[in-house]
Structure 1
Amino acid sequence: MLAGRPPFSNERPVPPSTPTSFRKTPTTRASNATGILRGSQNLRGTAAPTRKDPTMELLRTHEPLEAFVFDMDGTLLDSLPDLVDVTNETLTHFGYPTHTTEEILAMIGNGLRSLILQALPQNLNDNATEAALAWWKTRYDEVGNQKTTVYDGMLDTLAELKARGMKLAVLSNKYDGGVQILTKHYFADLMDFALGDGPVPRKPDPKGLTLVAKTLDVPIERVAYVGDSDVDMQVANNAGAFPIGAKWGYQTLDHLTNNNPGALIDAPAELLKFAE
């Protein structure tokens, strides 16, 4: 929790001495996913079995995986309703015009500053921009989970990945304070590490993903990065990780397919085949 910020309701407690490291004992287990292949190779690069899953697209082989790192908004969480509400509350507070959900959806994905700069009227001075940015953060820390939900099947999938010995983490372009709060609130028992914008450059710069892999003590080529956007595929490729495109997220399929994904999945449970 950020200092001086009101806590979310029903937030699960975590040890205060480890702000970006979380407990690791899963509370539930997911059932195994079914089939998965595309073409003549399976997820480990060996001969494919005869059973196939038409929803999974494996586009290239990879090293055996030891860790899964996740984008947050549009991958782990459907946070768009809260992002829309807080953005429009900020605009209203300062007397600026508001935006539709579709307009704000087109603004997200490259960090909070990018969202604010696009949402505000053009040609504002730096002081006005910084004031709106600070107000947005304060308000989001207070109410940013009121409408946010975890995608169906995600918690069970994360618990099962954890039970299979996988290390799990979050890397997001959301500002780091928000990433820490949401990770603790929704995934405290599951994530080993979380990192947002601020301590490292935003995606697609590979420094953040490289730092996550180092913190998890996993070679980058044995890390999968799961995300719903073009910058998610780009950061994985830039760092040397295996990019998995989440087709349930906020961006169109073209944003994934045009950026060299290693695999495309339709549901979280399909990740389990990468951990066999």
Structure 2
Amino acid sequence: MTAIKLGIVGVGKIATDQHLPAIAANGDFHLLASASRNASIDGLPGFTSIDEMLARQPEIEAVALCMPPQHRYQAAHAALTAGKHVFMEKPPGATLSEVADLEKLAQAKGVTLFASWHSRHAPAVQVMKSFLAKHAPSKVEVIWKEDVRHWHPGQEWIWEAGGLGVFDPGINALSIVTEILPNAMFLKSGVLEFPANRDAPIAADLRFTDATGLAVHAAFDWRQTGKQSWEINVATGAGELRMADGGAKLWIDGVAQELPEEGEYPSLYRHFASLVKNGQSDVDLSPLRHVADAFMLGKRKEVEAFDS
């Protein structure tokens, strides 16, 4: 397959830190241009909108969308309508309904739509999934706590309605849990803490179960300083799984596991290239569905104001 001619939309921190290095290292893609209101990429044509980019660079075959989720639908709709394959950074959209509409449009146009979940491509995830397929989990504890000031400095969109707040990182944990568990889980109760001056939560405490009665507890918090916590612990009859550093490390019954070395974003782009080659899409909305359920079922608790 010749290299897929790619455009990237939204040249911010995630694009610079993760997407651009992964694209540069993957021979299946050739980056042609970017579209962003505030930044560009050295040596490439830069435009201020996706419409301008597609009009001026019609040879583009696929686009990677890295802008905030509140603005992703219009960009994805424009690209799909133009017959381009689309890679969507997580979360794929601000609502479930708009992503479902994009999935229908991609099917109608015969192009690939990829709702990416980068944490599912962490080295420990498939090892955990294989183990739990053989040894049923009896309890799951998720601890996902980080410092928003470090990871999202000055990014006000995350505090706006649709920006998800603490679920921006929390959805990464949910993407892993929904990948590794043998049965679908659903929310039973939750408490969402909203700063008095924000429209999105800064912390969440959630309790899930499944058809077997499995207890899954998830604690998300954006106020953690010092060491960051991205951990999932799963009890089974064959020992405990302990995942740390977002899936970079794994112990099974106390024994450290040797894990693949491929990074999350290189794996995502390898998967995207395979989807395009085989004429397929990958649009799993289960992590976003759990976030929507949390907003529906979770109790709202107001806490002190928070300034970035």
State TM-score, norm by structure 2: 0.31
More strand by share: 2
